Amino acid sequence: MRRGSIVRITIYGVVAGILASLVAVLIPWLPTSASEEMDRIEFTFWFTTVICIGVFSIVAAVIVYSVLKFRAPPDDDSDGPPIHGHTGLEIWWTAIPAVLVTAISVVSAIVLAKNDDVGPNPLRIAVTAQQFAWSFEYPGEEPVRSGSLVMPVNESVKLTLRSRDVIHSFWIPEMGQKSDAVPGIETTLVLTPTRVGDYTLLCTELCGLGHALMRAQVQVVERKDYDAFLARETSGGGKDQSDGEAIFASAGCSGCHAFAPAGSDAEVGPSLDGLAARAEEVGQPLDEFIRESITDPNAVLAEGFQPDVMPSTFESTLSDEQLGALMQYLSEAPE
């Protein structure tokens, strides 16, 4: 190959590499990292991206050069010269990809192992998923249950995931790690938050009509603020499980039903505003109508809604106290 050809291929490769690099760098493909695990995931992403840009640049340059240099004249209908292989090239284009794939595999294996390493004394939080809400239990002499996830900054947290009904998937975009919550199986996830702030927990496994609304608030705070949160919840200074409004949120009601006092406008299930009028329509006392609607949702279906959409498990997943508090919250709402 002549020197001029090598120069042209180099120019094409540089241009292609610059364009690919600009696309990779200028567009924010990933959320801003907020955990050690996400930092490692980002490194793996960019390590792989740089290799891919290099491979793309070389391949694109050779293709462009070949198209421009060796294109046949319009009046040339002859076959090209037969080529039966090139041992040297075949060795190179086998060896180089093998090295690159091995490098990516080694880096990925190290990152996966490191992201699963929780350390000697992690904070343990139990996560329960159900259609269509998340709930969290914090350790202590008196376990604290909450509808929001609170974690201290710069400390390893081991999350134990369970599901009460179908498969859900736990993901906080800024923290990278993702894991399924599977019925009958206990899965774990390690997070080490590095930035104080508020985030959103998403479900990324299609789990029913309210899937898109299955979210929870996540707070990363200083250790002293985390301890204050636990003390406040333990002493009853915060919203506990006897609070109907808190149960309405943690049980996932707001993910499916519109209810003005809770600020919910979901339309998966019927609106919960005007329950007294609907109870009168079906000829039931209000408390009986609300209880039956929660524990046996297929008994009386609102017009325009299908059966078997709302889980019928709340009679077993809510205690009598919690069910009573939720009923009181719904029945005392202003019409």
Is 116 within 8 Å of 158 (Cβ atoms)? no
Which among 298, 324, 321 is positioned nearest to 311, based on CA atoms? 298
Which among 199, 201, 173 is positioned nearest to 38, based on CA atoms? 173
The strand pair at 197-203 and 215-221 is best described as antiparallel
Q: Tell me how far apart the alpha carbons of residues 58 and 17 are, in angstroms, rounded to a whole number.
A: 8
Q: Tell me how far apart the alpha carbons of residues 210 and 166 are, in angstroms, rounded to a whole number.
A: 13
All residues at 6 or more sequence positions from 249 whose CB lies less than 8 Å from its CB, including other chains = 133, 147, 262
Q: What is the pLDDT along the chain (335 residues), one digit of tens a residue?
A: 455 666 677 777 778 777 877 877 778 777 889 999 999 999 999 899 889 888 888 888 888 888 878 877 778 778 777 877 888 888 988 999 999 999 999 999 999 999 998 888 899 999 999 888 888 889 877 778 887 899 999 999 999 999 988 999 999 999 999 999 999 999 999 999 999 999 999 999 998 877 887 888 899 999 999 999 888 877 655 444 457 887 887 777 877 888 888 887 777 888 888 888 888 888 889 999 999 999 888 888 888 888 877 877 777 777 788 888 889 889 887 76
Q: Tell me how far apart the alpha carbons of residues 184 and 166 are, in angstroms, rounded to a whole number.
A: 10
Burial readout 297-314 (b: 16 or more C-beta within 10 A, e: otherwise): beeeeeeeeeeebbbeeb
